[in-house]
Structures are given as C-alpha cells and as structure tokens.
Amino acid sequence: MDEQKRKEIESRIRSLESELAEIKQLLQTNSSDLSPNIQTTKSQPPPPPPPSTIQPKQTQDSQPQQISRVQTKPIPRQKTFEFPEHMKSGEYWLNKIGIGLVIFAVLFFFKYSIDQGWLVPKLRIGMGIVFGCILQFLAFKTYLKKRHFSLVLFGGGIAVFYISGFAAFQMFSLVSHQTAFFFMLAVTLYAISLSIKQNEQILSLIGVLGAMATPFLLYTGEGDIPGLMMYMSVVIAGTSVIYFFKSWRGLLWTTYIIGVFIVLLGGLDIVENQNAHTDSERWSVQLALVLCWLAFAIIPLLREVFAQINPQKYKYIQFTYLKKLVSEQFEQSAAKHAYILFVTTPVIVYTASTLLWTENYMPQKTWGWIAMATAMFYWFTAYQLKKWANLKTVQLIKLLVGILFLTVSFFLLFEGKTLMAVLGTEAFVLFYIGNKFNDSKFLRSSYILYAILFFGTAIRIGWDFNRPDRFFNLENMTDLWVIGLMFAAFYVSKINLVKRIFFPAGILLLTALFDQQFNGNLLFFLLTAVMLGMHLTQRYLHDKVLTTYAQVYLGALSLLMINRLMLLEISLFPTDLGVRPIFNLTTGIDVLFLAALLYAARLIRSQSEKTIYYIWAHIIILSIFLREFQSSENGQGIVTIAWGLYAAILLIAGLRLNKVSLRKAALITLMVVVAKLFLVDLSNLETIWRILLFLGFGGVFLLLSYYFKSLWKDSDDTGSSPNQTDIQS
C-alpha cells in the first residue's frame, strides 16, 4: 500500500510541475506584452476632456459609465523551436554527458585490461556486472529526489550489463552462446519490467534496443534464420502488448522500424538465394511477417477501439513538452501516428510475402485471391468501426486499404481486356462514391485508376495490331466500355476541372479507336458525329472550356476536310468519287459534314464565332463544286455556272429573309465569279463557252438588278426596309 501511495504522489508531483512550468511561461509572455502599455499609461496623463457647451440632461434612467475590463486574447502557440523546461537546465545535459563518458570508460577499461593483462577475464566481467549493479542501486536511491538523474543511471547500468554480456562471449569466450543469450535476455526483461514498474518509456526503449541488438552482438556466423525469426517474433509481440496498455508511441515505432527491418533482412537472404534455403526457413519468415501485421496493424487498431470503449483506462499519454517544440498541427498529426501503420504494414507484409514465395511455391492467382480476401477483411473491419463516431478517419483508411488490395487482386486474377473492364468498373464506382459524398480520398483513388486506364487503353489501341477485322469484338467492346465509363464520370462529376479533364480524355481515346478500326468515308463520318456531339455537350453545359475543346476538334477535322477537298496523293482518308460528280458517297459524306458544321454554328453563342463557321461552310460549298466538276470536259465552265447559280440563290435568300450577311456573301461570290470569267475561263474555255458564259451571267446580273427591290421583303413583314445605299450596292 505504501508503494502504491508513493507512485500516486509522484505522478501528481510530475503533473503539478508541468502545469506550473506552463503557467510560468504564460505569465512571462503576458507581462512582456503588457508592460510597455502600462509604462506608457503612467508616463502620459490622459488628455483633458473637450469643452462642452451643452450639459447632458440627467434622467432617472441614466447610469454612470462603467470602465470595460481589458480582455486579453489567447496567445497562439509559437511554431519556433524551444527546449522544454527540464532540458534548459545544466543538470539535464551534464548527467547525459557524464553517463556517456562512464560507458566509454567501461569499454576502454575492458580493452586496456586485455592489452595489459592486468586482470583475469572472469574478474573483468565480474567488475563490469558489479559496476552496473552499483549504478542501479544509486538510481533507485535518487529516483524520488532526482528523477531525470536516476533515469540516466538506470540506462547506464543496463548498458553496462549488455556490454559485459557481449564481452564475456565475444571477447573472452568465458561463457557459451546459450548462457550469454539468456543473460542478455534477462537484462532485457529487467529493463522492460523496470520501465513498467517505474512507468518510464525510456527504459523500455533501452531494453528493446538491447534485445534487438542481442542476435548481432552474439552472432556466431551460423545464420540461423528460424531462430532469429522466432526471437524477433517474441520481442515484437511483447512490445506490442506493452503498447496496448501503456500507449508508448516511441516504443511502438522503435520496434516497428528496427523489427520489420530485421525480418525483411532475413527474407531478403532467402529471396536472393532461393535454392540455398529450406521451406522451414521460408515459413519462419512468413510467420514473422504475419506477426508484424498483427503487432503493427491490428493491435494499434484494437487499442483505438478500446480507447473509445473505456477512455479512462486506455487513455493516451500527452507529451506536454511537445507544445513548445512543434506547432499545434504537428502535434495533432503525431497523435494519429497509428494511421501510418494501418496503411504501410499490410502493404509491406503482402509485398514481402509475394517475393518470398515464388511461382514454383505459390501461383500468382493464389496471391490474387489472398489479396481479395484481405480486401474483404478490411471492409468488414471498416463496417464494424462505424459504431464509433471518433473513428471515422480510421474507418475510411480501412476502406481505402481494402480498395488497394482489391485492385491488386484484379491485377493478379485478370489480364488483358478483362482486367481493363474490371478496373474501369472499380474506378467509376470509387468516383461515384467520392463524388456523391464529397470524399476526396475516394476521388483521388479513382483518379489514379482512371489515369492507369487512360494510358493502358491508349497503348492497347495504338500497339495492338492483331485485333479482328470486324468492329464488334471483345477487344473493341472493352475499350468502348472504358471510354464510356470516362464519359459517365464526366457526366456525374460536380467539379468543372474534372469534367474538363475527363471529357477530352474520352474523346481522344474514342477518336484513336475509330482511327484504328475504320478508314475512308466511314471514318470521316464517325469523326463528324463526334464533333457534333462535342458541340451539343458544350451548349448543354455552358462551359467555355468545352467550347474551346469542340472548336479545336473541329479545326483538326477541317484540316482533314481540306485534304479531302484537294484530293492529295498522300491522303489520310482514301476517297472514291465514282464516275458521277456530286452524286457519290464522298460528296454525300462531305454534305453531312457541311450540315453538321451549320448546325454546330447554331449551337455557338458568340456571333463572331458563328460568322467563322458560316464562312468556312461557304468555302466548303464552293470547293465541292470545284472538286466535282473541274476534271470534266469544259469543267471550269460548269464550275462557274454552279458558283453563279449558288450566288444567285444566296442573294435571293438574303433579300427575301432580309439577311445582310447572306447578301454580302452572295455579292462577294458574284464578284469572284466575274473575276474567274476573266482570269480562268477566258483562257481555258472554247469560244462558244466564253460567249455563253459572258452572255448568261450578264443577263443574270441585269435580271437581279431589275428585280432587286421587288425581291426585298418589305418592312411590314420584317420590320425593316431597304435603304438607298443597299439598293445601289
């Protein structure tokens, strides 16, 4: 009972000391901030009140004005580095330096006694152990009065014990390996039990470091991997249990970093020398990896759960000195240190296991099913964690780890088109969940998968030359499924930036697929349909960026249209005009493109951009006439007639509809026809054709000028009437 009361008093004293240190620091800061204001107030008397000629009327309700008390705002935590109070004293650094010098002195003593031959080896080891016991005795005596000093003595004494055990076996060969090992194990157990009894994490750290160094300090060159794995498993299991009850983060992370490294080191030797190791050695490493997963992924999770069930018993240690060392954000992040273990541990264990067991021992599909089972386990864990509101972040981490393992299982279980289809479905499901619940982690996961899908599909389309000739095959349907899921994500997304990325990505893949499967007129028809769909989409969403995408796509398609109109020898679109001008498939596809272009112009909101669309359509019409008739006998004359009739129709339509743009286009075209008559037809056509063309167009011009005013729709129908300038023009 006296011992328990003593511990309670010690813990209360430590908490009071830390609170007093914080209060002292706060008072010093406040006094330094307020003292200049106080001095200024004392040195300068308040100014006299301004003269007033009107005295305020005193009423019954009037009350004397009260002086408001100055309220000081809480001082934000400083992010600059500052040592804790106990580290500012010279005592703290002197005892650390002193015990370090003492340990070096012990090492030098062993070395010097060997060189001089002063003492027999047994006496040297005995003196080392006695010296360690003296340090432990002094530590117990000074613990209540000088806590930090006593901890230094405790640690120094334990270090002397380890050095003595090492010297007894490696340097003097006084004891067997088994005796030295059990001695080191006893020192470790003593350090751990002392840390638990004194409630001091630093002692457990010394014990764990010594325990993990023991196999290397007592190394004999035999390379007993099963023994090493069994020993490390015991150490890791013990420290994880201590963490569960004590919440010592330093102990957990020290064991994690060094322990996992040693286990992986043993597995690496097996991976590099597959034929030199037995199955028992592989299983020993595998069991150690599974124990690492339990110790660093499951035990911390259980502690998080128990902390919610019984927070008084499983409360976390608060390091008050961290408030002066780091910012508040960093302290909050450090409190969630286990989240890193929840993600890294299963990934490391699974990856190391797959490398440990090659294809000869375990097929790839078996690891795929193991990954899928792991994903199901993590999803089940996440479902169980929904009972506690404070563990929502942990629940989300478990969901994401499950998604990661599910994706890995897909890569191992499927291949080719099946893998792409499954990954595409998973990506869209993740995107839909993240978009619906505004969860950035799900969205980022889907972005990664979509990026993999985009480049994977692009490679499949660009380098897969062995696809069947027919379009409706599994390979193409898989690519269409992935592209469709990209457009589906574009459709459901609430973020404009995401829409602006997914939309062109899907368009590029769809265009590449069409280009790989089709050619000629059919390909140009499909690309025209894509262009029209892009214009319909931008009109529906009112997005200027999507409008730019549609116009860029139209520009690229227009370059291909120029190629078709000019009938270049090196053609990206092989065409067959047939024997009949105008009435052939190529011209029919061009007319469909022309109709799509005119309809797309109606979907554009900017009037100046509409004008560009219409001008391009006008040029295409003239170019089609030129392409279709120029190779015929007296083809230039037929082209001139076609252009003239087309211009006359435009002029009449412009007059009847009262459209200035149509009238201007018609008049310019007529002027081009006149220029062509003199520059081209006059030298290339026979005399009879020249007479007929000049006579015919002269008559047309006279008729148009004669009926110009009568053809103009009057103001009763249009609300406007022609002016003299338009008639004269």
> DSSP readout, 604-654?
---HHHHHHHHHHHHHHHHHHHHHHHTTSTTHHHHHHHHHHHHHHHHHHHH
The pLDDT value given to residue 279: 87
The pLDDT value given to residue 333: 56
The pLDDT value given to residue 71: 46
Instruction: Report whether pLDDT(473) > 90.
Output: no
The pLDDT value given to residue 689: 84
* Residue whose C-alpha is closest to residue 442's, from 391, 414, 407: 407
Highest-scoring range by mean pLDDT, 2-6, 45-49, 415-419: 415-419
Name the residue range of residue 642's domain: 635-729
Confidence of residue 9 (pLDDT cuts 50, 70, 90): confident
In a domain, 511, yes or no: no
Least trusted range by pLDDT, from 220-229, 234-243, 315-324, 674-683: 315-324
User: What's the farthest any 2 CA atoms get from each other in the chain?
Assistant: 136
Least trusted range by pLDDT, from 238-242, 373-377, 676-680: 676-680
Instruction: Report whether pLDDT(716) > 60.
Output: no
| Average pLDDT score over residue span 656-683 | 88
Q: Give the residue, 605 or 566, on which the prediction is more confident.
A: 605
The residues, any chain, with a CB within 8 Å of residue 504's CB and separated by 6 or more, are 549
| Average pLDDT score over residue span 316-326 | 51
* CA–centroid distance for 92 within its chain: 44
| Average pLDDT score over residue span 630-652 | 88
In a domain, 360, yes or no: no
CB crowding 99-117: b at 16 or more within 10 Å, else e: beebbeebeebbeebeeee
Do 379 and 400 contact (CB within 8 A), yes or no? no
Q: Count of CB atoms within 10 A of residue 357's CB?
A: 18
The residues, any chain, with a CB within 8 Å of residue 219's CB and separated by 6 or more, are none
| Average pLDDT score over residue span 691-695 | 83
| Average pLDDT score over residue span 534-540 | 95
The residues, any chain, with a CB within 8 Å of residue 560's CB and separated by 6 or more, are 524, 527, 572, 573
| Average pLDDT score over residue span 654-669 | 88
Q: In the numeric block, which tokens belong to residue 686?
A: 């026979």
Confidence of residue 635 (pLDDT cuts 50, 70, 90): confident
Instruction: Report whether pLDDT(450) > 60.
Output: yes
Least trusted range by pLDDT, from 52-66, 150-164, 185-199, 673-687: 52-66
* CA–centroid distance for 359 within its chain: 32
Average pLDDT of the chain? 81
| Average pLDDT score over residue span 327-351 | 78
Confidence of residue 62 (pLDDT cuts 50, 70, 90): very low
pTM of the model: 0.68
- Residue 3, class by beta-carbon neighbours within 10 Å (0-12 exposed, 13-18 middle, 19+ buried)? exposed
Inter-helix orientation angle 496-517/440-463, to 10°? 20
3-state helix, strand, coil in the chain (%, to 5): 80, 0, 20
The pLDDT value given to residue 729: 42
Instruction: Report whether pLDDT(579) > 60.
Output: no
**Which residue do the tokens 């478990």 mark?**
398
In a domain, 716, yes or no: yes
Instruction: Report whether pLDDT(654) > 90.
Output: no
* Residue whose C-alpha is closest to residue 299's, from 256, 364, 244, 253: 244
Confidence of residue 715 (pLDDT cuts 50, 70, 90): very low
Number of residues that make up the chain:
729
Q: What does the pLDDT look like over 75-104, one tens digit per residue?
A: 444 444 454 555 555 555 565 576 667 666
In a domain, 114, yes or no: no
The pLDDT value given to residue 321: 44
In a domain, 695, yes or no: yes
Whole-number Cα distances in Å, 175 to 114, 190, 217, 218: 17, 20, 14, 11
The pLDDT value given to residue 186: 94
In a domain, 210, yes or no: no
The pLDDT value given to residue 719: 41
Query: What value, to the nearest 5°, has the Cα angle with vertex 212 and ends 210 and 213?
Result: 60
The pLDDT value given to residue 79: 46
The pLDDT value given to residue 329: 53
In a domain, 464, yes or no: no
* Residue whose C-alpha is closest to residue 574's, from 521, 626, 625, 528: 521
In a domain, 689, yes or no: yes
Q: What percent of the chain has pLDDT over 90?
A: 43
How many separate domains does the chain show? 1
* CA–centroid distance for 90 within its chain: 47
The pLDDT value given to residue 263: 94
Instruction: Report whether pLDDT(73) > 70.
Output: no
Q: What does the pLDDT look like over 194-238, one tens digit per residue?
A: 999 988 898 999 999 999 999 999 988 777 899 999 999 999 999
Q: Give the residue, 696 or 298, on which the prediction is more confident.
A: 298
DSSP string, 465-508: ----SSSSSHHHHHHHHHHHHHHHHHHH---HHHHHHHHHHHHH
* Residue whose C-alpha is closest to residue 486's, from 425, 549, 548: 425
Least trusted range by pLDDT, from 168-172, 578-582, 622-626: 578-582
Instruction: Report whether pLDDT(309) > 50.
Output: yes
C-alpha 681/C-alpha 695 separation (Å) is 13
The residues, any chain, with a CB within 8 Å of residue 7's CB and separated by 6 or more, are 199
